[in-house]
Structures are given as C-alpha cells and as structure tokens.
Amino acid sequence: MTRRYRQHEDSFGPARAELNLVPLIDVMLVLLVIVMIASPWLTHAVTIELPRVSSATKPPPPAHVELDIGAKGELYWQNNPLAASELADYVAQAVARDAEVELRIHADRRAAYEHVARAMAIASRGGIGRIGFVSDPER
C-alpha cells in the first residue's frame, strides 16, 4: 500500500518567499522617534564660556543719501531738485564725506528704467558701492 502524498504547492499554490515589511517599518519609525528625541541633547553637548565685556558699543549705521526719481525722470537729491548733469558732482561730494556711503533710490513706479539705470551707472562710476531701492509695502 503506497500512499500518495500531495505536495504542498498543489493545495495552496506555488510556494513564495516574501519579506514582511510591516515589522521593519515599525522598527524604523521607533528609531526615527529616538533620534528625534536625542538630537537636541547632542547639540548642547559642547559648553563654551564666552568672554564678558563691560559695555558693547554698536557701530554707527552707515551713512546714506537718498535719490528720488520722478515719473518723468526728474531727480531729487535729499529732497532737493537737481539736474541730471549735476548728479555726478553730488555723488562725488557724498563719497568724499564717507567712502562707505549707501545710495537709496526712491523711484516712481512709472519712471522709465532708462532713468533709473542712468542714475545707478553714475553712482557706481562715482564710487558708491552700495545701492538700494526703497519701495512701499503692498497693502
């Protein structure tokens, strides 16, 4: 009497070897939480004793001059009207007073780019290295 044993794959389908990822993901999440909790402690591990000073003086703010450019290209230096040909002289005087002077340009939004670019070029050639634009915040 011989018995016939059916193979395992006949009744349940072919045997498959799969990796169950759920426990692996659980372990990774636990490790992530541990790292997130421990990381602030690691940044404060080094103690440094900083020197103490009796009084710290702030450096004076850099000097600045203001140039207004109107919608039609008219120029105003510190709220005083001036001709475009005089701008180079005013820039030279400002740089002579303070080599680190900053030029703040208040350009009308309708002013042509040509007027703004010309004023920037004159200021740059005159020795002004810092040029900023002033605008009104949107409301």
pLDDT single digits (tens) 38-47:
887 776 656 7
Cβ neighbours, 10 Å, residue 112: 14
pLDDT of residue 20: 85
Distance CA 87, CA 77 (A): 8
Find all residues with CB under 8 Å of 107, minimum gap 6, and list them. 68, 69, 115, 116, 133
With a threshold of 0.75, does the pTM exceed it? no
Domains, the chain: 64-133 (3.30.420.270)
Residue 50 has pLDDT above 80, yes or no: no
pLDDT of residue 135: 85
Cβ neighbours, 10 Å, residue 124: 13
pLDDT of residue 84: 87
